[in-house]
Amino acid sequence: MAILEIDKLDAGYGSINVLNDINLSVEEGMITGIIGPNGTGKSTLLKSIIGVADTKSGEVRYKGEPLGNVDPWDLANLGITYMPQGDRIFHDMTVQDNLRVGGYVQDDSEFDKRLEYIYNLYPVLESKKEQKARNLSGGQQTMLSFGMALANDPDLILLDEPSAGLAPDLVEQMFELIEQLRMEGMPLLVVEQSVRVLLEYSDHVYVIDEGTVRFNGKPSEIREHDDLMQIYLALET
């Protein structure tokens, strides 16, 4: 069953159209990956979901309901968490204060329950909860960013280039955390440039090029398309 559906979406910024006739769905409990060359509209797609990019036509539905009139700051109340590209934590705040910022829509009793869940999921964060976030290792900071995303008890997580800026050895750790969330039943929509690792962990993949969907299917199927692997993904086959 799809938790998120995008139907014939045209979107962009002002008079500039970036996406054309996009059809996409995210199924419950699955990792859905979006890949393709730089500058082809992948991040714009996420921004159109959260209402930052301008929707020209088409529709985005979440749990069957249109998102067109929902303000970006209200998405957390609906159960959608967006993790933007780049640094996602506050380095001069403690681990627990970072998590409290992440759980800003929760009242104290609800947040305490989420905190217990997060600490059970990532015990190292509890052991360092009073430390400044800047003192965490790279992998621990990645855990903290996911903990912040989970603090609002989301039903869907949108990830924009989660491996951006990470050392190669941390990219695999990042996707192991993503896989762990999928095993917990969390659906995720992930835009990513590290194509090989995304193909390894995704259940379903979309290839976007020049603002349109060129392919959608299982990672095992995309590997059978030499033109996509060579032209769009710049990978050796």
Please determine, for residue 237, whether its predicted confidence score (pLDDT) is greater than 70: no
Please determine, for residue 91, whether its predicted confidence score (pLDDT) is greater than 80: yes
Q: How confident is the model at residue 234 (pLDDT cuts 50, 70, 90)?
A: low
- Give per-residue pLDDT as tens, 59-75: 999 999 999 888 888 99
What gap in Å lies between CA 215 and CA 190, rounded to an integer?
16
What average pLDDT does the segment 181-196 reach?
Answer: 92
State the pLDDT at residue 190.
96
What Å distances lie between residue 207 and 46, 100, 213, CA to CA? 14, 36, 6
What gap in Å lies between CA 223 and CA 133, rounded to an integer?
39
What gap in Å lies between CA 99 and CA 104, rounded to an integer?
9
Q: How confident is the model at residue 96 (pLDDT cuts 50, 70, 90)?
A: very high
Maximum pairwise Cα distance, the chain: 53
Query: Which amino acid makes up residue 234?
Result: A
Average pLDDT over the chain, rounded to whole? 90
Q: Yes or no: say if 30 and 182 are a contact pair by the CB < 8 Å rule.
A: yes
Please determine, for residue 25, whether its predicted confidence score (pLDDT) is greater than 90: yes
Please determine, for residue 48, whether its predicted confidence score (pLDDT) is greater than 90: yes
What average pLDDT does the segment 27-36 reach?
Answer: 94
What gap in Å lies between CA 134 and CA 42, rounded to an integer?
30
Instruction: Provide the CATH number for the domain formed by 1-79+158-166+190-237 in this structure.
Output: 3.40.50.300
What gap in Å lies between CA 125 and CA 193, rounded to an integer?
28
- Verdict on whether the full-model pTM lies above 0.85: yes
Better-predicted residue by pLDDT, 98 or 84? 98
**Domain assignments of the chain as residue spans, ordered by start:** 1-79+158-166+190-237
Q: How confident is the model at residue 9 (pLDDT cuts 50, 70, 90)?
A: very high
Please determine, for residue 235, whether its predicted confidence score (pLDDT) is greater than 90: no
